[in-house]
Chains A and B, each alone.
With several copies, the nearest count.
Chain A
Amino acid sequence: MTIDWSRIRPYGDTLDDGAMQLSFSLPVPYGEEAREAAKQLVGKMGLIESQVYHMKDLGEGYTYFILYANCTHSVDFSKIHVPKVEAPIMGFEEINQYIRKHIKRKIIVLGACTGTDAHTVGIDAIMNMKGYHGEYGLERYPEIDAYNLGSQVDNEDLIEKAIAYRADVLLVSQIVTQKEVHVTNLTELVELLEAEGMRDRFILICGGPRIHHELALELGFDAGFGPGTLAPEVASYFSQELARRKGLV
C-alpha cells in the first residue's frame, strides 16, 4: 500500500478504489429514467460503477439522488503548490514587541464589513477587545490603534475614513457570498483605490468564510484569511509586512 503521489485517487476502503459520494437534484420527474439520467451524468464526470442508493421525488418534476461511484481521475499531488501567507505567526506579546522594535509607532488599523453585509461577528472576532477563541482582538494590542467601523459600510466611506485616520492597514470582512457579491465588493474597493492612486498606501487584507489567501491575491489584496482565523495571525502578517515595506527590517 505505498502511495503513488503522482496519481492520487479517492479512497473508500481499498487504495485507489476511487470511492465517492454525491448528491444532487435533476429537473426531471421521478422514475427509472431519472435514475438513468443521474447515472449518465456522473458517467460523463468520469465516474464508473455508479449506484443510485436513494432517490426522492421532490415534486414539481424534480428528483433528488444520493449516489456512490468510483472516480477514474487522479491528481498529481507532487505538483501541488498553494500560496500561503508566509509571515511566521507570533503571539500577543511578541507582536507588540515587534512593533515597538521595528515600527516604533502604533500601527493604525481600520476594519469593516462592507456593502450590505451585516455580519459583524467575523470582523469583531478579529478586532474586539474580548477577542475570539481565547485570543484577544486587535483593540487589546497596546501597539495597535484599531477602529472597527462595523457593518454595512460603503467602500467609499471606508476609503474616506482610511484617509482620515491615516490607516496603515484595512481589514475588510465579507460574509455574504451569494451571486459572488463578495467578489464584486472586494474588486470595487481595489478599483476605487487604484483609481485614486492610493492602492499602495494601505496593506489591504480581506477575510471571511469563503476567502482564502489565493483568492485574495487574485482580487488584488495583499492577503486573505479564511474561517477560524485568529487575531495574532493577522497582526503577525501586517506588522511584518509593514516593517518590510517601510524598509525597517
Chain B
Amino acid sequence: MSGKLNLDHRSVEEARVIAKEIAEEVDHFISARSTVSIERTVLRLFGVDGVHDDIPLPNIVVDGLLDAGVLHRGVAFWLCNAIVQTGKTPQEVAELVAKKELSLVDLPVTSEEAVYRTGERLQDAMLDKIFSHRKLRDHYIKKLSEGRKPYLYLIVATGDIYEDVTQARSAARLGADIIAVIRSTGQSLFDFVPYGATREGYGGTYATQENFRIMRAALDEVGEEVGRYIRLCNYCSGLCMPEIAAMGAMERLDVMLNDALYGILFRDINMQRTLIDQAFSRMINSYAGIIINTGEDNYLTTADAVESAHTVLASQFINEQFALLSGLPETQMGLGHAFEMNPELEDGLLLEIAQAQMAREIFPNAPLKYMPPTKHMTGNIFLGHIQDALFNLVSIVTGQGIQLLGMMTEAMHTPHMHDRQLSIENAQYIFRNARHLQDEILFRPDGRIQRRAHTVLTKAVYLLREVKKKSLFTALEEGIFADVKRSRAGGKGLSGVIKRSVDYWNPFECGLRERLQLSIRGEEG
C-alpha cells in the first residue's frame, strides 16, 4: 500500500469492524433459511439438467417438494433417498419426477445414513470436478499467459449467442482479457434458468448453461490463437443467483457479477431472498476460483457521485465482509465502483482520482472492478470517447484491477462490433502511455485530493455506524443506498424463501464449508 492519500488507518479499521458486525447479523438470519433457487442449485450440482415441457427439471422437482410442504428439509434428502431407493442417477430421477412417474415424497426412507452417504459421494465428485476446472484455468494461464492489469473487460450483448461468439472472438483478437455476456433484459426476474442455446434476447443474451459452454469453447479456441487466456464473465444475480453460480463453476466461468444489493436496489428483488441466495452462491464462486464483481458502481447511476461517494465505500466494506463469510478470498473480490462524476463539474477528475486511489489503498489485494462513465454519457460519441479516456487514465494512475471498458455509444445501444475495437484502442493507448505514471505522481499533502478521500472515508464510517445501529434491512428500507427504498417483504421472490427445519441438509454447503475451511454457523435466527 503506497499510502499516497495519508488515510486515517483507524477509520479504515473501524469501518471493517462495523461492517463485519453488520454482515454477521445478516448471516445469522441467512443461516436459518434456504430458497427455492438454492435447492435447485443443489439439484444442478447433483447433475440434474434439462427441461420437460420447457420447464427446467430443477424447477419441477423443487416446486413439487414445495407444494408437498417438505422442502424445509432440503431437496438433497429427497433426491438422494430416491437414488438409494431406485438405483437411478439424479438426472433419471428428476426425469421420472417430471413425467410424474415417480413421487419423491412417496418413496420410503429406509436408511438416512445411506441417503447422506450417497449425497456426500456425489457432492465430493462434483466439487472435485469444479476444482479440476480451476486447475485447468491455472494451467491455461500458465501456458498462454494472461492480460496485464487492469484487465480489459468487454461486453457482448447481441441477444444471439452465435453472434455474441463472433463479437467476442473479434474483441479477444483486438485485446480483450475478459468477455462478459450481458443477460437479456428481465432474465434476473425469472425464477428459472432458460435452457439451451438461445438466439433471441433483449439488450443481452440469456444466461444458459449451453450458452456458457458455447462461449467458453469459443474463448478457449481464440485464446490459444492469440496466446492469452480469455476470461469469461456472466451475471450471477437475480432470482437464480446460486444456480448460475453452479453453472458457472461447472462451465469454467472466471468472473461473475454477484451482488445481492444490486438485485434489491435495481431489480426490486426481495432482500431476504437474495441475501440468502448470495451467501451460498459466493461459496461456490469462491471454490471455483471465480472473481466476483459487486455492483456499487450502480449506486451512482441513480444517486450523485459527489454526494454519495461514501455510500459506495460503505457498501464495499459490507460486501467485503459478506464475501469473507462465504470464504471468498480478497484476491477474488472485484469490488465495484465507477467513474460517474458529472463532466460539467470543475475538478471532477480530482474527485475521481481521490475515490479510485482510496479504494485501491483500502482494499489493496482486491481486483477492483472499475466501471466507466455511463450516466453522463450522451449521444455525443466524440465527447464520450474522451470521457472514457479520462476514465482509463484514472484507472492506470490508481492501479485498478478490472477495467470495464467504456463505449462511446453507451447512451445508445449495446456495443456494435467496432465500438468495442475503439474502446480497446482507447484503453491500450492510455494504459501504454501512462504505464508508470502511478509510480511517479504524489499528491500534495492535505490538498484537494487528499482532503476529498478523507471526507469520503469519514462519511462512510458514519454511515456504517448508522446501518449497524438499525440493521442492514432497515437501512435498505430507508433508502440508504442509491436513493432507492425497498421494503423487507416487498419485491420479487420472497415466496421462494424457506425456513430450514432442524434436519435440513445441503451436502454442497457442508462440502464447500469444509473445503473453504469455513466454520459451521449457528442455526437459529
Contacts and interface: CB of A to CB of B under 8 A. Distances in A.
Interaction A to B: yes
B479 to A, nearest CB: 12
Given A13-B163, A150-B268, A59 B174 contact: yes
A238 interface: no
Given A58-B418, A116-B186, A151 B167 contact: no
A11 B411 CA distance: 19
Contacts of B170: 58-60, 62
Nearest to B158: A13
Contacts of B375: 121
Given A14-B160, A120-B302, A121-B301, A58 B174 contact: yes
B421 interface: yes
B421 A1 contact: no
Among the interface residues A12, A21, A59, which one has the most CB atoms of the partner chain B within 10 A?
A59
Interface string A49-66: 001111010111010101
A235 B421 CA distance: 35
Interface in A22-46: 23-25
A14 B267 contact: no
A62 B189 CA distance: 36
B168 to A, nearest CB: 10
Contacts of A72: none
A53 B163 contact: no
A58 B421 contact: yes
Among the interface residues B158, B266, B412, which one has the most CB atoms of the partner chain A within 10 A?
B412
B414 interface: yes
A85 interface: no
Contacts of A60: 166, 169-170, 173
Interface in B124-175: 157-160, 162-163, 166-167, 169-170, 173-174
B411 A1 contact: no
A12 B417 contact: yes
A117 interface: yes
B185 A176 contact: yes
A26 to B, nearest CB: 10
Among the interface residues A11, A13, A52, which one has the most CB atoms of the partner chain B within 10 A?
A13
Given A53-B381, A66-B379, A19 B412 contact: no
Contacts of B381: 21, 53-54, 66
Given A25-B418, A56-B418, A116-B185, A152 B268 contact: yes
Interface string B373-386: 00100111110000
B415 interface: yes
B364 interface: no
A131 interface: no
Contacts of B202: 116, 176, 178-179, 181
Interface string A139-182: 00000000000111000000000000000000000001011010
A220 interface: no
Contacts of A48: none
Contacts of B421: 56, 58, 64
A64 to B, nearest CB: 4
A64 B418 contact: yes
Nearest to A19: B416
Contacts of A209: 411
Contacts of A221: none
Contacts of A62: 166, 170, 417
A58 B411 CA distance: 22
Given A13-B158, A25-B416, A176 B203 contact: yes
A195 B416 CA distance: 39
B100 interface: no
Contacts of A54: 378-381
A87 interface: no
Interface residues of B, number: 37
B413 A178 contact: yes
Interface in B264-283: 266-268
Contacts of A116: 185-186, 189, 202
Could you say which interface size class chain A belongs to? 35 or more
B189 A13 contact: no
B203 A178 contact: yes
Given A1-B166, A66-B379, A118 B174 contact: no
A248 interface: no
B379 A13 contact: no
Contacts of A12: 413, 416-417
Interface string B398-419: 0000000000000111111110
B418 A13 contact: no
Contacts of A227: 379
A68 interface: yes
A15 interface: yes
B383 to A, nearest CB: 8
Contact of A53 (B203, B379, B418): B379
Nearest to B204: A178
Contacts of A121: 301-302, 375
Interface string B197-221: 0000011000000000000000000
Interface string A222-235: 00000100000000
Contact of A68 (B160, B174, B203, B412): B412
B104 to A, nearest CB: 34
Given A13-B417, A54-B380, A62-B417, A179 B159 contact: yes
A15 B162 CA distance: 11
Interface in B359-393: 375, 378-382
Given A14-B163, A15-B163, A117 B185 contact: yes
Interface in A52-110: 52-54, 56, 58-60, 62, 64, 66, 68
Contact of B412 (A1, A53, A118, A179): A53
A178 B166 contact: no
A135 to B, nearest CB: 16
A79 B170 CA distance: 26
Contacts of B167: 13
Nearest to A64: B418
B404 to A, nearest CB: 18
Contact of A13 (B174, B186, B380, B414): B414
23 contacts: A1-B162, A1-B166, A11-B417, A13-B158, A13-B167, A13-B413, A13-B416, A15-B163, A24-B418, A25-B416, A25-B418, A56-B421, A59-B174, A60-B166, A60-B169, A62-B170, A62-B417, A66-B380, A176-B203, A178-B185, A178-B413, A179-B202, A209-B411
Q: What 6 A-B pairs are tightest by C-beta distance, nearest first?
A: A53-B379, A116-B186, A59-B173, A54-B379, A12-B416, A64-B418
Given A53-B411, A64-B417, 20 more contacts: A13-B158, A13-B167, A14-B160, A21-B381, A25-B418, A51-B412, A54-B381, A58-B173, A58-B418, A59-B174, A60-B166, A64-B418, A66-B379, A66-B382, A117-B185, A118-B185, A121-B301, A176-B203, A178-B185, A179-B159
